[in-house]
Amino acid sequence: MESKRILVTGSNGQLAQSLAVVNKSLSHELFLLDRQSLDISNADEWREKLDDIDPDVVINCAAYTDVEGAEDHREAAFSINDSAAVLASRLTAERDKRFIHISTDYVFDGKASRPYTEQDGTAPLNVYGASKLAGEQGILDLKSDALIFRVSWLYSPFGKNFVKTMNHLFGTRDEVNVVNDQIASPSSALTFGRFLLECALEGGEPGLYHYSEHGEASWFDLATAVNELTGKRAQVHPVDSEYFPTKAERPAYSKLDNRKIETIFAPQIPHWRESLESCLNYE
């Protein structure tokens, strides 16, 4: 693949940082922008950056990801996850460039008994999921060359995420309780980032796709794997969600069906445990 000029928003987030790491073995030119470099809600600033950088692709990693906080800050969540995302997609489309947007499994209510496909009906249980769904719909309504990738349970060596939290707790506590009644597929931002930079920059029909690593797990399963792979000796105990009351309701089952993405892009998607081991060994 020829080198691309890629504008990446949300540079302080774990996915953008993972893209930067993955790109060290590739040849793309990344322009990583944080909120000080670009106000993603400001059309004039967007036009200026698009004109100055002239990217081939825009990857929108900027998002309001605080699921609990969104319950109290609905306007902020929708401003970033919906309005700003649609604005960025529209302005990118006006320049006939590819736009890649990241969404979530939380657009579903978790009542399914098999992995969700792109054709399944959505019914978010919380404000975060509703804001991400609104952004998806707004981007799709533009009918542009945009790709939307739903991904679940993203983690990485960077920022705040479940895997890093568990790894820390296992080094400081003898026993840890972890929820066992929510199930999806954990996704390494390093693995997902490589897919984006190797497969999604060109080709593929515009529209909605599910990225999901093989296998599925509960948060307890994921925590147990972290405990084992790091050689920690903590006792990990499974508990129901009611053990940790939250403002935002989470889907009980949100595994994403990745058959469409495998058919269209033919990526090398590993089992989640393989990606987890690679992430934990990252230096």
Compute CA distances 245 → 66, 86, 240, 241, whole Å: 16, 33, 10, 7
Angle between helices 85-94 and 127-141 (to 10 degrees): 20
Question: Coil, strand, or helix at residue 178?
Answer: strand
CA distances from 40 to 61, 91, 266 (A): 11, 11, 32
| Angle (nearest 5°) at CA 15 between 12 and 21 | 90
- 128 flagged as catalytic: yes
- Rounded Cα gap, residues 168 and 177, in angstroms: 14
* Marked catalytic residue, from 106, 116, 128, 209: 128
CB of 163 closer than 8 Å to CB of 201: no
Exposure b/e, 171-191, CB count within 10 A at least 16 = b: eeeeebebbbbbbbbbbbbbb
Residues in the chain: 283
- E strand or H helix at 274, and its extent? helix 272-280
Beta bridge partners of 58: 7, 99
| Residues annotated catalytic, as ranges | 128
